Chain A
Amino acid sequence: MPQIEVNGKNYETDEEGYLINLAEWNMDVAKYIATTENLTMTDNHWEVINFLREYYDEYQIAPAVRVLTKAIGKKFGAEKGNSQYLYELFPYGPGKQACKVAGLPKPTGCI
């Protein structure tokens, strides 16, 4: 298993750098994963990441893109409630890249 090292501690990831153990996630790990994705974390990023983790806690899956945009729009302002905004934050696609930073498993399938 590949590993990443953050603050002297090792964390297991899969081949693509997704964290294996969801419970090990913390903000430093998220920041580290973000750098590997060439992302600089801002408050806007954290809003999305925190929502993803809350949703995952309840449903054991990341939210659909539409559910995510709607929730972010409701919580943080209508100007943030669209997929273009999320793509600007997570250019590789909010579904996968944001999940990776949030320490969630990668969504699979025809997406």
Chain B
Amino acid sequence: MAAEIKAPAYRQFSIAPAIQPGSMADTKTFVANEKIQEAIGFPPALVDDWHDRAIAKMGELLSKYRSFKVYMDACVHCGACSDKCHYFIGTADPKNMPVARQDLMRSVYRRYFTIPGKLFPKLVGARDLTREVLDEWYNYFHQCSECRRCSVFCPYGIDTAEITMAAREILNSIGYGQKYSNEIIGKVHKIGNNLGLPGPALTDTLEGLEEDVKEATGIDVRFPIDVKGAEVLLITPSADFFAEPHIDSLIGYAKVFHAAGISWTLSSKASEAGNFGMFIGNYQQLREIAMRVREAALDLGVKRVVVGECGHAWRVAYSFWNTLTGVGSGAADPYAMQLQKQLDHRYKQPMHICEVTWDLIERKVIRLDKEANDKHIITYHDSCNVARGSGMGDVFGGQFDIPRNIIRAAANNYVEMAEGTTREQTFCCGGGGGLLTDDLLDLRVKGALPRMEALHNVTETHGVNFMATICAICKAQFTKVLPYYGFDRRTVGGVHQLVSNAIRLGDK
């Protein structure tokens, strides 16, 4: 870790920084050790024939994913993306410009997969895959949070996240994986969640929450687990059981179900919404992690599957669960079809907790006392995977409007951050995509700069003191980096934390 981590100064105008070549070249996230790699079926360490295997893997991905090949071919280096990445803005390292990050791979693609690159490499910017290039891949493809903001501005729609995923998939296939993501994936398989929270600890924590809520409200709000025949199975990030402010949103979900009279349960088998298989671009891991949800849904016989406040989990659930697992329609295997029969299709499957809550508010099934949140002047941070990788409700842009509608229904004071920093153009928190690790804290602090600038702006002009969001990574990242920018760590919290404060429980 760097000796002293400092937040960059706010820019006077939000312009591209003067470049500092190589400033982040030595930022290297911890490499997974043999034990971590082997636990999830990857080679334990860099294999001897890594060069040939990496090129072969790249060829395989190019033939499998048409999009990846188009992204390799289509870029015309127009530069529209260059100042759109929060990591470039915060670090000024030109290799953190999306186009430059893509070119780390594109140059190798040209050398091995195009005729001009094979014949005249120098003329077309083609490079051999050397050990130096490989290390550069490792370092800079772990300085991309796969947030896809750059793709919004690319005239060809090139998605750097997909290139980063491909790079990580290639690196893992030759035994050069990242400690943080791969250790977590191992824990999901072994223990059931990213945290490594075993069943008895989870039960103990949930019982404690029941006591706490009873003490605070006088009402018996339940936090059920493994209840067969419950209507709703709630899949939520394990951070919701463990960390602050996450746990306050979990209390909010429980209160919503209680107030609406919906029977619900958590699952000790699928005690994790997060799916880091997506971060490393590995389809098999993505599927195996998602499959736990289907198994839990079948075991418990639930009618609905609802996802808690987790950004990338909602992308996986919304966009991939259907064909991966049969939650939603699309998968054709017998268990998927059995699940389809079991689920209640009067409801969307899966459903986001915000969709559930907003529907109940609209139908006046639950009622909120806005005054309960009067101490807060609130703004909303759109999380990247929700904003750019999913939808909510039946209206285009529902993933932007529904969380905001809930906040406005739960509180009196709401302020938007500057245009160009929200909705589909939202800035990543700086910790997404498998980078929420202490060894990358310097990068995380720097990558948070544009969001912190936008937040600073509304704190100055409107006195904002609370930034709501619906992602466990965003919550953890901001809790850690806010103090570097002079904010209280408790400035960040969940949308259902606000719901929890305001919801009426007693008079039903």
Contacts and interface: CB of A to CB of B under 8 A. Distances in A.
A4 interface: no
Interface residues of A, number: 23
Contact of B205 (A67, A108, A111): A67
Contacts of B172: none
Is chain A's interface secondary structure helix, strand, loop, or mixed overall?
loop
Contacts of A15: 30, 179, 439
B473 interface: yes
Contacts of A108: 180, 183-184, 187, 194-196
A88 interface: no
Nearest to B195: A109
Nearest to A69: B244
Contact of B247 (A59, A65, A87): A65
Interface string B480-504: 1000000001000000000000000
A60 B194 contact: no
Contacts of A63: 201, 205
A111 B476 contact: yes
A66 to B, nearest CB: 5
A85 to B, nearest CB: 13
A80 B100 CA distance: 50
Interface in B237-253: 237-239, 241-244, 246-247
B204 interface: yes
A45 interface: no
A110 interface: yes
A59 B30 contact: no
A6 interface: no
Nearest to A94: B244
Contacts of B204: 59, 67
Interface in A58-79: 58-61, 63-67, 70
B198 to A, nearest CB: 6
A105 B480 CA distance: 20
B212 interface: yes
B198 A107 contact: no
A109 B205 contact: no
A3 B278 CA distance: 34
Contacts of A61: 195-198, 201
A109 B242 CA distance: 10
B161 to A, nearest CB: 18
A58 B193 CA distance: 19
Nearest to B272: A109
B344 interface: no
A29 to B, nearest CB: 20
Contacts of A96: 438
Nearest to B183: A108
Contact of A107 (B200, B242, B246, B310): B242
B79 interface: no
B198 A66 contact: no
Contacts of B180: 108
A16 interface: yes
Given A15-B179, A66-B244, A110 B436 contact: yes
A37 to B, nearest CB: 12
Contacts of B117: none
B113 to A, nearest CB: 36
Interface string A34-70: 0000000000000000000000001111011111001
Nearest to B179: A15
Contacts of B237: 109-110
A58, A61, A64: residue with the most chain B Cβ atoms closer than 10 Å: A64
B241 A64 contact: yes
B350 interface: no
Contacts of B246: 110-111
Contacts of B196: 61, 105, 107-109
Given A107-B196, A111-B243, 10 more contacts: A66-B247, A87-B489, A95-B242, A96-B438, A108-B187, A108-B194, A109-B239, A110-B239, A110-B246, A110-B310
21 contacts: A61-B196, A61-B197, A61-B201, A65-B242, A66-B244, A67-B205, A67-B208, A70-B208, A87-B489, A96-B438, A108-B194, A108-B195, A109-B184, A109-B193, A109-B242, A109-B274, A109-B472, A110-B246, A110-B274, A111-B242, A111-B246
Interface of A: 15-16, 58-61, 63-67, 70, 83, 87, 93, 95-96, 105, 107-111
Shortest beta-carbon contacts, A-B, top 8:
A109-B194, A110-B472, A59-B201, A111-B243, A110-B239, A109-B195, A64-B242, A110-B473
